[in-house]
Each structure stands twice: as structure tokens, then as C-alpha cells.
Amino acid sequence: MVFSFLSFVHLTLAVAVSLRIFSRRSSRGSALAWLLLVLLVPAVGALAYLLIGERRLGKTWMQRAIALQPQILRWAQRIPATTVVSPGFLDRGAESISRLATGSIGLPLLGGHRLQLLADSASIMRALIADIDAARTSVHMEFYIWSAGGFVDELVAALVRASERGVSCNVLMDSLGSRAFFRSEALAGLRRAGANVVEVLPVNPLRALFVRLDLRDHRKIAVIDRRVAYTGSMNIADPRFFKQDAGVGEWVDAMVRIEGPAAWVLEAVSLSLTALQTGADFAPPPPPELPRTGDSHVQIFPSGPQGATRHIEALLLTAVYAARREIVLTTPYFIPSEPLLTALRSAAIRGVRVILIVPAKVDSLLVRYASNAYIEDLLSVGITILHFGDGLLHTKSMVIDEQITIFGTVNLDLRSFELNFEVSLIAYDQVFAVQTRRLQSEYEARSLPLQLAQWHARPQWRRLLENAVQTMSPLL
């Protein structure tokens, strides 16, 4: 009798969740992974699907997102024509990337920028603090992780000084990524000084009933006086102290400092998330009068879970298929979608040199096993895979033919494609591409290449475990 009842419950849960999955038209890999989990462990699988199976931002957020979209498009159409550049002057591959970016997001190609690549955390923080100390009107920051200690305390002190001299300081922090910081004296000091601190996507047990709690704000944006901006991979955390118990070494990051109209656009992108979180009006201040500071052409490419289309995946696919000679990628987490895996393999087969640089150790055992499952597929077609052994390589970069650079917060995994708010800088600038490629070469020098014969020789149990975890990778 008990067995029959449990079988009935098992069947009921499996059918109920299956019907829900089929009604949502999930990606094939995600749907199959959820079905497998529900069939194998129905109670756990059903509960997991309830909590993280769908991209639920909540009714209020989605209503705001629907109302906000036409406002953002109208704002984008009013970007001063003097800063907008036609993509027609780019070569064919770059033009296709630019047109897809504009068609997907609505943000045009912009000219007149000076780009500076900052390749280590200390130099990044020194430059950012100097710009905050020089701020006259506004400082706007949005980062996934804030972690007190080390040079972060110096940054907080600079923000306090700016607030006290009348500079408008707005700070967005992800609720989960910055959880410990919200209980810190540093945060209290910011608020006492008058800085406006916004907690993005708050985490609490009650919200878990209505929203998916692992939808996170993974962006890294700093904008000073709407003239200077930063974006890239670094959180507001000193790598000498951050996650030192994870056994992966110090995190290795890079950022780009941007002078030009893209700084104002980055602030507007961040203000759109402020509007989603707080319900405030989306009303970016007008752009400042900016002298032409350089010759770089760039596009800002935000992405997030509020839309049904994986725009960032489409951008990366277009870039890979546009490559003629070389693609070099760095990412801490590599769990690609099937289309991206196919694109990289196809590039290598048609003669494009493809180099993937990833850390030898990452701070997630499941991600490590899932990522390893793809290595043989890549090595077998001649793709070079390098394991960076000098810390957790956290820089997210793609350089195409030493001409085009995609640089920002996006990891090469489904979490970045589907679940996180992310932002990327697309730079159509050979000088910046060469600089970024040089940084990638420095990473290569600190890495060891994987060999196909050695990889084949790994224990059978590891191969089985990696393939099993990879089957569930759409859920990671």
C-alpha cells in the first residue's frame, strides 16, 4: 500500500512538472536536464524546479520591465547624432557584429573614445579612487560583490569624501553577492555620508516563493561625472583577502577605463536597473558636453534575464562566425551552450586559430567537472586549451583577429547567458585589441597547455563523473 502511494506521488510529481516544463518551451538541454532530475529524484527535483526552474523575476519587476522597455528605446533614439557612427565603415565581420548589437539592444555604435586597459587589481583601484577624488558632480557604481577590507576600505573612504563635498553618489550592490557588506560598518558609513545605496534583487525566504533567487546582478560599472567609466571583470574586493579559503589563489582581473560618450550610456544602463529595482522613473541626465578624447569606436551591450532571447549568446556566436584568423578567449567558467560549442569547433575546422584560457582551479567543483566534459570535443579539432595556474583567472575577454574585442562581465556559461544581468563593451579598435591580446599572451605564459593524449589517459571514473555533471550543466 505504501509503495503504491509513493509510486502515485512519484508519477504525479513527474507529470505535473513535465507539463509545466513543456508549457514553457525551455531550451532542449535545460528541459531534458530538468526531466531527468525529476524522474530520478522526484521530490527533490520538483522542489528544485519550483525554486530555480524558471526565470521568475516577480510580477512587479516584470511589469516595470515591460513599461521600461519603450522608455529605453526612446532614450536610445535620442542619443546625440554627433556621437553616433554608422557601422557601414567597418569591415564586413565587424559590421555584422555591430548591426546585430544595435538590432538586439537598440544601442548604436559610438565614436570618440579613449580606452585604457588596466590589467591588475591594484592599478584598477588606484585609478578608480583618483577619479572619484576628482569627481565634481556624480559618481555612479554598480557591482555584484562588495567585500570590505584592503583597498576596498580606501575606495569607501573616497566615496565618503565625495559625498561630503556634495557629489551625488549612487551605489548599486547585488543582495547576494554583497551580503556580508550590507552588515558592515563600511556600508553604514556610506549611508551616513549621504550616498544612496540600492540593494538589488533582495534575498529572503519569503521572496523565494515568488521569484527565482539565483537571478543576480553580475554587472561591474563605475561612472564618474558621466565622462569617465569603468567596466570589466573586477568586483569591489581586494584579491589579497577575498575568498582566500577557496583554495584557488588570488583572483586575477582586468578592467577598461573609458573616456567618451559610452560613459554616459553605461550610467543610463545602470539607471535602468535602478528603475527596475526601486520603481523610480527612468530619466538619465542629459549627456555632458564632451570633447573628442580619442578615436575608438565602441558599443555598450547590456543583457539580462528579463527577456526571452539570449542576446549575449547571439552576439558571441556572430563574433565567432565572423573570425577569419584567430579567436582568443579568457573566462573563469566555461560551460558553453551547444550553439557556442558548435561555433568554436566550426571555427577551428575552417582553419581559424582558437585559443581558450581558463583557470586550472575554480571555486566550484561542479563547474570544474562540467567544464572538463567539453575539453575532448575542443582538443579533437585543434583548439588550444590553456590552464592558467597562477590564481583564479577571472578576466572575461574575446579578441577576434586582433581587430575586435568583447570585454566585460559575461562568463562563457548558461548562467551569464540566461540568468544574470551582465554588460559588455564591444570595441572596434585595433590598438585596444592588440593591448588586450598582449594581456592574453601574458596569461598564456602563466598557463600549461592540455594535450589530447594525456587527456584521454585520465581515469575512467573521472570521465563518467564529468559527463554525468555535464548532463546537468543547463541547471548550473
Q: Give the model confidence (pLDDT) of 147-180 as tens digits.
A: 999 999 999 999 999 999 999 999 999 999 999 9
218 is catalytic: yes
| 425 contacts 304 by C-beta, under 8 angstroms | no
Catalytic residue among 174, 253, 401, 413: 401
Interhelix angle 121-133/151-164, rounded to 10 degrees, is: 10
| 253 contacts 239 by C-beta, under 8 angstroms | yes
Query: From CA 355, how far away is CA 18, in angstroms rounded?
Result: 39
CA separation (Å) from 141 to 248, 353, 427? 28, 37, 21
Mean pLDDT, residues 366-395 taken together: 93
Contacts of 178 by beta carbon, 8 Å cutoff, 6+ apart: 143, 144, 145, 146, 147
Catalytic residue among 174, 253, 394, 429: 394
Torsion angle of the four alpha carbons 195, 201, 204, 205, in this order, in degrees rounded to the nearest 10: 170
pTM across the whole model: 0.91
β-bridge partners, 407: 397, 425
225 is catalytic: yes
Chain Cα centroid distance, residue 174: 13
| 251 contacts 391 by C-beta, under 8 angstroms | yes
| 121 contacts 239 by C-beta, under 8 angstroms | yes
Chain length of the chain: 476
Catalytic residue among 113, 131, 217, 218: 218
Catalytic residue among 113, 220, 297, 311: 220
Which cell numbers in the block locate residue 410? 559575461
Selection from 16, 47, 50, 35 nearest residue 472 by Cα: 35
pLDDT for res 67: 87
Most confident of 13-22, 40-49, 258-267, 279-288: 258-267
pLDDT for res 430: 97
| 296 contacts 429 by C-beta, under 8 angstroms | yes
396 is catalytic: yes
Return the residue matching grid coordinates 509510486: 7
Phi, psi of 465 (to 5 degrees): -65, -45
The percentage of the chain sitting over the pLDDT mark of 70, rounded to a whole number, equals 85
Q: Which DSSP letter does residue 217 get?
A: B
295 is catalytic: no
394 is catalytic: yes
245 is catalytic: no
Please tell me the least confidently modeled range out of 95-104, 191-200, 430-439, 453-462: 453-462
Query: From CA 387, how far away is CA 28, in angstroms rounded?
Result: 30
Return the residue matching grid coordinates 542619443: 79
CATH class of 59-298: alpha beta
Selection from 190, 185, 71, 183 nearest residue 141 by Cα: 190
**Is the predicted pLDDT of residue 444 greater than 80, yes or no?**
yes
Selection from 169, 210, 206 nearest residue 190 by Cα: 169
**Is the predicted pLDDT of residue 405 greater than 70, yes or no?**
yes
**Is the predicted pLDDT of residue 217 greater than 90, yes or no?**
yes
Beta strand 334-335 with 412-413 is parallel
Catalytic residue among 225, 238, 253, 413: 225
pLDDT for res 467: 75
Please tell me the least confidently modeled range out of 69-83, 377-391, 398-412: 69-83
Neighbours of 237 (CB within 10 A): 25
Torsion 231-236-241-243 (CA) sign: negative
Which cell numbers in the block locate residue 350? 575552417
CATH class of 311-475: alpha beta
